[in-house]
Amino acid sequence: MQTRLLATDPKPALDEAVAAAVDLLHAGQPVALPTETVYGLAAVATDPDAVRRVFEAKERPSHDPLIVHVNSRAMLDQVADIPPELESIVATLTGQFWPGALTLVLPKSSAIPDQVTAGLPTVAVRRSAHPVFARVIKSLDQPLAAPSANRFGRISPTSARAVLAELEGRIPLVLDGGACAEGVESTIVKPAPPDKPGGKPVLHILRAGPVTPDDLKRFGKLNWTATAPKPRRPHAHPLDPVPPTVVEAPGMLDAHYSPVTPLRLLASPGEFQPQPDRRYALLSFRGDPDDGYLDLAEFEETVVLSPGSGKLPEAAVRFYFLLRHLDDLGVDEIIAEPIPERGVGIALQDRLRRAAAGHHRPATDPS
């Protein structure tokens, strides 16, 4: 299959690209579209054949559910059956964070085929703020199932080029909406009623993302227990066996988001001894020699997420782009500095942990 790449500016190009995407989506084909987090591989969410093509193109196992994108309250009600006890928290969270990088896990409606939710009684829903995505879904006027547009378990794409690197020849069309403004996948929250009378709603955080715990804590009681894996031991070696974790969100297993190159996440400079004849590259947070990582080895290449004092949102925007670049170098190992676990840094450090776990998990886990 030939994969077309269409620009979305200037305006006539946008109109043409949106029309081409909508035609293909109507015909049950998957199309890669930009969102503000990462590129998604979209298909009409109510069409089981279209959804099957998404799983096939990504080589995604059928037990890993997709996120459904909507663009209105009416469309949300089409895909989710919101119970009265969640009505108020859903209204609050969508009012605050939609359109944006927040996904809500809610009871699913019968309009959503079981393939989309991997048989779960719930559906994950978000509304993207990306103007190109918004144009497509408005013109189509149907909910779009769209997981990240990478092959299963690999690095999420944050540019149209990265989508091609993942899916060229497997899908008919990519719309080029430029680099993603957030750079890391949406925060996934499962809201629940208060756990005691008069209490706040409980917000189970299933995946850390651009909407941070600080952003969410005003609206409910945060619960992290579902998120895997939390830090193990402060100085655990990435090659140590990982204790089994309870998986509340399918797909939130270890060993996601992996480069092909083995990645080692350091907790401190002292724990790394380079081996002769091995080629290393460094993913540095802020590129400050005082942090102690830059001279640990003769790195084949060092990339810096946010040069200077280290700005977490900037690090997020560049994160997958730079990780993909390091992966393409063909070194023996990528060495990653730890990222401060505040704000969106929580999401970045989480992705690094999973990437580091990706190389010693059994093949049945997502990798």
Q: Which does 66 bind (CB under 5 to 8 A by kind): Mg ion, ligand TXA, none?
A: ligand TXA
d(CA 261, CA 310): 25
Q: How far is the CB of 193 from Mg ion (least distance, A)?
A: 29
Q: Which does 251 bind (CB under 5 to 8 A by kind): Mg ion, ligand TXA, none?
A: ligand TXA
Which lies closer to ligand TXA via its Cβ, residue 35 or residue 142?
35
Output the six-digit token pair for 7.
Answer: 């620009």
Q: How far is the CB of 309 from Mg ion (least distance, A)?
A: 30
d(CA 293, CA 274): 12
Q: How far is the CB of 150 from Mg ion (least distance, A)?
A: 6
Q: How far is the CB of 359 from Mg ion (least distance, A)?
A: 18
Q: How far is the CB of 282 from ligand TXA (least distance, A)?
A: 27
List the beta bridge partners of residue 266: none
Q: Which does 335 bind (CB under 5 to 8 A by kind): ligand TXA, Mg ion, none?
A: none
Q: Using an 8 Å Cβ cutoff, are 131 and 11 in contact? A: no
Q: Which does 139 bind (CB under 5 to 8 A by kind): Mg ion, ligand TXA, none?
A: none
Which lies closer to Mg ion via its Cβ, residue 146 or residue 356?
146
Which lies closer to ligand TXA via its Cβ, residue 183 or residue 310?
183
Q: Give residues in contact with ligand TXA (CB under 6 A).
A: 35, 37-38, 40, 64-67, 103, 105, 117, 120, 122-124, 126, 146-148, 185-186, 188, 206, 249-252
Which lies closer to ligand TXA via its Cβ, residue 18 or residue 105?
105
Measured from each CB, the residue nearest to Mg ion is 148
Which lies closer to ligand TXA via its Cβ, residue 126 or residue 353?
126
Measured from each CB, the residue nearest to ligand TXA is 251
Burial class (CB in 10 A: 0-12, 13-18, 19+), 119: exposed
Which lies closer to ligand TXA via its Cβ, residue 79 or residue 305?
79
β-bridge pairing 40-44 and 31-33: antiparallel
Q: How far is the CB of 198 from ligand TXA (least distance, A)?
A: 28
Q: Using an 8 Å Cβ cutoff, are 212 and 222 in contact? A: no
Within 136-165, the residues that bind Mg ion by CB under 5 A are: 148
Q: Which does 343 bind (CB under 5 to 8 A by kind): ligand TXA, Mg ion, none?
A: none
In order, the DSSP letters of 135-187 are: HHHHHH-S-EE--BSSSTTBPPP-SHHHHHHHHTTTSSEEEE--S-SS-SPPE
Q: How far is the CB of 277 from ligand TXA (least distance, A)?
A: 37
Of 232, 38, 13, nearest in space to 147 by CA = 38
Q: Is 94 in the site for Mg ion (CB under 5 A)?
A: no
Q: How far is the CB of 28 from ligand TXA (least distance, A)?
A: 19
To the nearest 10°, report the CA torsion of 291, 297, 298, 303. -40
Which lies closer to Mg ion via its Cβ, residue 75 or residue 252?
252
Range 277-310 burial, b when 16+ CB lie within 10 A, else e:
eebbbbbbbbbbeeeebbebbebeebbbbbbeeb
Strand order in the sheet with 221-223: 4-7, 173-176, 31-33, 40-44, 144-145, 67-69, 122-126, 102-107, 187-192, 202-207, 221-223
Of 77, 41, 172, 62, nearest in space to 117 by CA = 62
β-bridge pairing 31-33 and 173-176: parallel
Which lies closer to Mg ion via its Cβ, residue 40 or residue 201?
40
Q: Tell me how many residues contact Mg ion (CB under 5 A).
A: 1
Note the residues at the interface with Mg ion (CB under 5 A). 148
